Structure 1
Amino acid sequence: MRFLAAFSDRYLPLVTGTDRLARRRPPARRPAALALVVSARECPAEDVVALRLTAPDGAPLPRWQPGAHIDLLLPSGRTRQYSLCGDPGDRYAYRIAVRRTGGPGGGSDEVHDALPAGTRVGVKGPRNAFPFAAEPAVLFLAGGIGITPVLPMAREAARRGLDWRLVHTGRSRASMPFAGELRGLPGADGRVELLPDDEHGTPAGTALLRRAAGRAVYCCGPGPMLDAVRAAFDGSGAKALHAERFTAAPVRDGRAFEVALRGGEVLPVPADTSVLDVLLARDPATPYSCRQGFCGVCTVRVAAGPVEHRDGRLTEREKAEGRMRVCVSRAAEGSRIELDL
């Protein structure tokens, strides 16, 4: 069986047995941002806003495939990544859907409160970290807003006449976006299952995978859901698991250390907390995007101190120049690093 996790512009096979990670290529130079306009807004579920983004002159937009995402450049200067959840066949519009989380980064609040119809925004991409291989038999699993990359995959599976099934979980029916679109897909009768927690309880990984035998599984949702699916995967009979995580993975093997800033302020970094989260607690406008070490938005210069690099993307030259991706990289236990911030 294959077990794949989605990261940036590549797949990293999870190490099992004697498997080895393929050599990573440096990221390609990215094109300039597109200047788009919010041409329409709707609320497909509680605390969810969907935006339609188009070119001001009505020009066609770059093509994309199911699973792709864009970088949305917000008026505040923040950059956030959102999955495209529209129709890849529509060359004239991108659609994203964003749940309000109220987190310290403020990106979802800004999308909800500061992007009315007519607002100009910058967009980079699309990029695809979660491509759909269109296997003959597929099971889609989505938790909450994790339906956004999965919906275009299901639409493509229906278009191709594949043997597909989809399970969507969420807190309640009112919180689960695009249920009507899912049921309206060609041949969707008997293929789409909605499991609101307030009606069925939180499903176990074995329950989510009960129809997985012989199928490729595509899963996107909150961390506990992904962990449950991974734990049950080996006994499911599924052929492959493709997974995308919207939130940062927990810090593993972390050790406490300190970060010093230019002005002399010293911030403690607990063993279970990232440098990025410590910086966000101090300044919610701290730039970041992916939280997984691949996009580079949170990269800072280290003026002094040893860095434990965990991103796997910086080159040896960049490391020697003192670059650090603070969403994942750390320092040795009890040490102090000085950041050029």
Structure 2
Amino acid sequence: MMILAGDIGGTRSRLALFVAGEPAARFEQTLPSRDYAGFAAMLSSFLELAGRHDHGRIEVAAFGIAGPVQGEGDAARVQATNLPWTLEAATIGQALGGARVRLINDLIAVGLGALASPLDRRVNLNPEATPATGHAAVIAPGTGLGEALFFHDGDRHHPMPSEGGHCDFGPNDEREAALLSYLRGRFGGHVSYERILSGDGFSSLYAFARHAELGRPTPGADGQLSAASDPNALVTQWANRGEDECAVIACRLFARILGAEAGNLALKSLPTGGVFIAGAIVGHIMPFVREQALEAFLDKGRFATMLGRLPLWVVADGNLGLAGARRLAEQEMDSTRVER
């Protein structure tokens, strides 16, 4: 059976055709999302390109997209968060000649991709943990902060979406308390974990480090940041090269707070199958994650021993959204075979 999987982003979208049992895509394209008036136009363009290769009829399709999914199955629809698009499973299915279509939130797609990732694509931050099968938790910094739980029924994982990234940030020491006070002033009140553990969080943490005079910035920092197309990426580059003390402090804070929130998520869900820190961002600050995250994850007082038994995985892969969409499509394909 031919499968279509998609990772729909505000800037770029990746679409790929797979055949069940084959590891590599038969055909794949990355398309600029904002060049299309809607998803239907993008899909039509992709299908035209794919048709030149005569891949056959698509039986099942699944797409991960940023936005809340309303309804289930063929009745599912998503209003995209970062695009003026609305995706409807039934309409997409008709465009695909009657294919079964599933829509999922992009974080759920990332989580499914992380859970299916091979061991050689993961980093284990907690070598003393006891690997086991069971419920899992995923935390993924990106444009925002995604958090989700995955219930295990003894056979497969079922996603349980959340908006946990918007929970109140809780400081764990005097520096983090000062950070909270600074961010409350910066954002006019409520400070969520997403304000810190996201792409823009690096700029906020860097600004705090400079405001609190925690280190020396690199010469000409203001001009470089103003000229940069992505100031957040510049902060991480400075930190990795050790060129800017404030950037180093910002990345240490990011990694430590990420580990602490991963521990909070673990306490709330008891994921014996492990906690997964997922997405491309953590790969850019991996030395700091290795240095800071586990200690903060375990810093839970009387429950440190219990958390010490849980695997803490890092899957720093920018392809997880597409891999997760493919996994969902394959699950739907299996269900279709059972029904037949």
Could you state the TM-score of these two structures normalised by the residue count of structure 2? Answer: 0.27
Q: Which has the higher strand share?
A: 1
Could you state the TM-score of these two structures normalised by the residue count of structure 1? Answer: 0.27
Higher relative contact order (CA 8 A, sep 6+): 2
